Amino acid sequence: MAIPLHINFLGTGTSSGVPMIGCNCAVCTSTNKKDNRLRSSILIQSPQTTIVIDTTPDFRYQMLRINNTKLDAVVFTHAHKDHIAGLDDVRAYNYFQKKDMEVYANATTAQDLKRDYYYAFTEHKYPGVPQINLHIIDEQNFQVNDITFQPIVVWHLKMKVFGYRIGNFTYITDANKIDEAEKEKIKGSEILVLNALRKEKHLSHFTLNEAVALAEELEVPKVYFTHISHQLGKHEEINKLLPKHISLAYDGLNFTTHI
C-alpha cells in the first residue's frame, strides 16, 4: 500500500539567499514573495516520520515559519556551511521531544560536523548542547522509520554530494555533474528536484540550460528547480521560459506524493 509523503520547500535559494545583502538588483528588490529565497532545504513527512534534508543558516526561522513541532531526523547532502549551519538549533527538539536527534551523513560530512560542532561530540558535554545520534551512511540504501532513502552520488566540482531518491521523488542540490550510473537511479522518478543556479556558466552548479537539458534527458514528468541565485532572474519571468513540466520551486511550495 502506498504511503503518502508530503514535501515542503523550506528554502530554495543559493548560499547567500535572496535578496542578497547589499544588492539592489531587480530580483533582490522584487515585491513578489516568490523572489525571496532562504537557503535550500526541504522537509519530508510521512504519517509516522518528519525529516529535514539539510539544516541551513535559516533552519530556526524555517521551522518557526511552518510551525513545525516534531522532527525525527536530519539527513545531510554535504557539509558546505549553507547546508549545515543550523544544526545547533535541533536543541529545541531535544528539549521538547526529550530524545537525541537522529542525524544521517556520509563519512566526509560527519567528520566536518564533528569539527564544526565539536562541543556536541565531546565526552564531557556542557549542559544544553545539541544531543545528536550520528549515523554514518554510504551509497547503500538506508531506512529512517518508514522512509527509505536511496543515495545518489553527484559531483559539486570535485566534491561528492549525496542526492536522495525516496520512492518516486528525487532531490538533488549542489551539483554540476552526474555520472551515468547515478542517472540510472533517478530514471523512473515521477518528481525531480534539481539545482539551477543561474544562466551563466558556474564551476560547481548546473546552469538553467544545463538543468533543463538534464531534466529532459532523464524524462521525469515533473521537475522543480532549486538552489537559485538572484542572478537567474525573476521567478515569474523565468518560469515563462521553461517547458510546461518544469518550474522553479519557491519557499513554501508543498505537495504530496507517495512512496
What pLDDT, in 10s, does the model give residues 165-194? 999 999 999 999 999 999 999 999 999 999
pLDDT above 80 for 161 = yes
Q: Residue ranges per domain, the chain?
A: 4-252
Q: What is the CA radius of gyration of the chain?
A: 18
pLDDT above 80 for 205 = yes
Span 14-18, mean pLDDT? Answer: 98
Tell me the whole-structure pTM to 2 decimals. Answer: 0.97
pLDDT in tens, 42-76: 999 999 999 999 999 999 999 999 999 999 999 99
Span 191-210, mean pLDDT? Answer: 98
Grid look-up 502506498 returns 2
C-alpha to C-alpha distance for 133 and 156, rounded to whole angstroms: 27
pLDDT above 80 for 1 = no
From residue 69, alpha-carbon distances to 51, 87, 88, 94, 97 in Å are 12, 16, 16, 11, 9
Q: End-to-end distance of the chain based on CA atoms, in angstroms?
A: 9
pLDDT in tens, 19-48: 999 999 999 999 999 999 999 999 999 999
At the top level of CATH, the class of 4-252 is: alpha beta
Span 146-170, mean pLDDT? Answer: 98
In sequence order, which ranges of the chain are alpha helices (DSSP H)?
59-65, 81-84, 91-97, 107-116, 180-186, 208-218, 235-239
pLDDT in tens, 209-254: 999 999 999 999 999 999 999 999 999 999 999 999 999 999 999 9
- What pLDDT band is residue 80 in, cutting at 50, 70 and 90? very high
Cell numbers describing residue 180:
551515468
Q: Beta 4-11 vs 41-45: how paired, if at all?
A: antiparallel
pLDDT above 90 for 195 = yes
> What are the residues whose beta carbons fall under 8 Å from the beta carbon of 217, sequence distance 6 or more?
183
